[in-house]
Structure 1
Amino acid sequence: MTDPQTRIAQLEAELAAARQEMQDFTQTVSHDLRAPLRHIVSYARLVQEDAGPQLNEEVRGFLSTITDASGQLGAMLDALLELSRLGTAPVQITSVALQPLVQEVCDEVAARHAAHVVDVSVDVAVPEVLADAALLRHALLGLLVNAWKFTATTPEARVVVSATLNAQGMVVLTVQDNGVGYNPALQGQLFKMFSRLHSASQFPGLGSGLALARKAVRRMGGEVQLSGAVNAGCCATLLLPGVPVAAA
């Protein structure tokens, strides 16, 4: 019989091999698909430029659809690579100052979407969190971009970012918006890669933000939860280990 320690070592080796195979597969597929994708886009644009005036409106529409769809596929490949990277990148857990990071990401998202004015409130009552700074930033950025996006049709858009410490010593970091929300019956689809609960014509995007945010948070030993309702906004909650008082 195999002793428990040997079996554990075998399982860990198998898991590491499986992760490496998945990373290799994702990168290979993404790389191999990019070459024909570039050709599709290039030739479609050449036809548009060289023969555009001679084409009827319907054919020009077809070419536009080809270039738009190709661009979306390229963005999806980028998202798959990012998911793979998040799953394999080294994790460095340290004490991260929360207030400056939250403010920095809020300012960045506001600058990116300057045309959409949002009333932002930041109330961080926890000085530090045990996290990987890059992964936490990635998760926060994704959640705040979503909050900006889904308040685009809200007359007086508001986003509230807060952080408290619960009884278990976990940091509870929330991003609350007053946007369009979602149907709670579709809760199970929220964290699926490329899953969309709203049409692209309403709100642009791939439907990858939440999946990527959760991957980043789980790599740090945390979790992401969502709650919301139709036309009642959405609240994203990140749970991460707090810094022990003795170590603070």
Structure 2
Amino acid sequence: MSAGEEFAEPQTLEQALALLARRDAQLAALRSEQQAWVHAVSHDLRAPLRHVLAFNPLIAELLQSPQPGAQELEEALGFLHTMEQSAQRMAAMFDGLLLLARAARHALSWQAVDLAPLLQGLKRQLESEAPGRSIVWRLPESCPTVQADPQLLEQALRAALSNAVKFSRRVPQASIQVGVSVTDEGGLAIAVSDNGVGFDEARADRLFGIFQRMHRESEFEGVGTGLALVRSICRRHGGEADIHAQTGLGCELRLSWPQPR
């Protein structure tokens, strides 16, 4: 919840205590997010920057000779390639941080959103971005409406489905399923499942951190901001996100959405 969003005025002591508890929880979440941002900027962004800064003097040294040989030129070109890759990665990391910052600042506009057509639209978008892929989609034909900010909800679902598409890429017949159910508390549980590569579930929670990945970049592209975006958007709506997986057996990303306001 952003600074611009207001709570209803408490009418009883019980409501006042609940309000204080919610505010304390939000402050704790904000402090945690702030620490994650500081770590991401001060630590994770330094890795590609080091490549750019370190290889520049090496290239200059290689090319100082009036007539550098073929070996020196080949080494210099290799360093330039590494520097270009590092610069592109750093740009993608900045883009991810910008997307997270915009989602955090976005003023919530609560509306009733019909999930079924939203999911179908995202499916068509992702299929157009992965031509030639064979994916079996299992989406609900109808489901309850959800109270949410439409723009942020779409961003969260797109990030969740994009992950499923990406990490099921190596499976001969990819299968992606979305289930929507009503919880005992009256909220919604949105589960996005795939039959992709999965991962060791013991490390699941760290995946929601900024720039956290389970697989090498040479295996799967991305800088590790998708799940951080999903959890941030869920929490802004009063919900939560968690993920379950097994290595080689795919995973399930579960979005717990609160009951309607």
Report the TM-score, using the length of structure 1 for normalisation. 0.76
1:188 deviates by: 2.5
Q: CA deviation at 1:189?
A: 1.2
Counterpart for residue 136 of structure 2? 119
CA contact (8 A) 1:128 1:242 kept: no
Match of 2:152 among 117, 132, 135: 135
Alignment of 1:219 with 2:256, yes or no, is no
Which consecutive segments of 4 or more residues in structure 1 shift more than 3 A?
A: none
CA offset at residue 94 of structure 1? 1.2
Match of 1:66 in 2: 83
Residue 169 (structure 2) pairs with residue 167 (structure 1): no
- The Cα shift of 1:166 comes to 1.9
Question: Are the aligned partners of 1:150 and 1:179 in contact in 2 as well (CA < 8 Å)?
Answer: yes
Map of 1:56 onto structure 2: 73
CA separation in 2, counterparts of 1:116 and 1:203? 16
Q: How far apart, in 2, do the equivalents of 1:172 and 1:227 lie? A: 14
Residue 10 of structure 2: aligned partner: none
* In structure 1, C-alpha distance between the alignment counterparts of 2:132 and 2:235, rounded to whole Å: 33
For residue 104 of structure 1, report the CA deviation from its aligned partner. 0.8
> How many angstroms does 1:243 deviate by?
4.4
Deviation (angstroms), 1:178 = 0.2
- Number of residue pairs matched by the alignment: 213
| Alignment equivalent of 1:154, drawn from 171, 180, 187 | 171
> Cα RMSD between the aligned structures?
3.1
Q: Does 1:237 align with 2:237?
A: no
Tell me the alpha carbon deviations over residues 136-176 of structure 1, each in whole angstroms, 9 at most, x when there is no partner: 10000101110011001111110011211122111111110
1-side partners of 2:195 and 2:253: how far apart?
A: 12
Whole-angstrom distance in 1 between the partners of 2:220 and 2:127: 17
Q: 1:159·1:175 contact (CA, 8 Å) conserved in 2?
A: yes
Which residue does 1:103 correspond to in 2? 120
Could you tell me how far 1:126 is from its partner in structure 2? 2.2
In structure 2, C-alpha distance between the alignment counterparts of 1:221 and 1:114, rounded to whole Å: 36
**Deviations for 1:78-120, whole angstroms, at most 9, x for unmatched residues?**
1112111111210111111111111111111111112322111
Unaligned runs of 5+ in 2: 1-12, 64-68
Of 63, 87, 94 in structure 2, the residue corresponding to residue 77 of structure 1 is 94
**Cα distance, 1:70 vs structure 2:** 0.3
Q: Distance in 2 between matches of 1:125 and 1:147?
A: 21
Aligned match of 1:197: 214
1:88 aligns with 2:105: yes
- CA distance in 1 between partners of 2:197 and 2:227 (Å): 16
Give the Cα–Cα distance (whole angstroms) in 2 for the partners of residues 115 and 75 of structure 1.
Answer: 25
Instruction: Give the distance between the partners of 1:124 and 1:142, measured in 2 at CA.
Output: 21
The CA distance in 2 between the partners of 1:199 and 1:243, in whole Å, is 40
Asked whether the equivalents of residues 231 and 240 of structure 2 are also in contact (C-alpha less than 8 Å), the reply is yes
State how far apart, in whole Å, the 2-side matches of 1:94 and 1:202 are: 39
Specify the code of the residue in structure 2 equivalent to 1:68. Answer: Q
TM-score, normalization: structure 2? 0.72
SS at match of 1:56: helix
Q: Does 1:210 align with 2:210?
A: no
CA distance in 2: counterparts of 1:119 and 1:91, whole angstroms:
34
Identity among equivalent pairs (%): 33
User: Cα distance, 1:241 vs. partner?
Assistant: 2.8
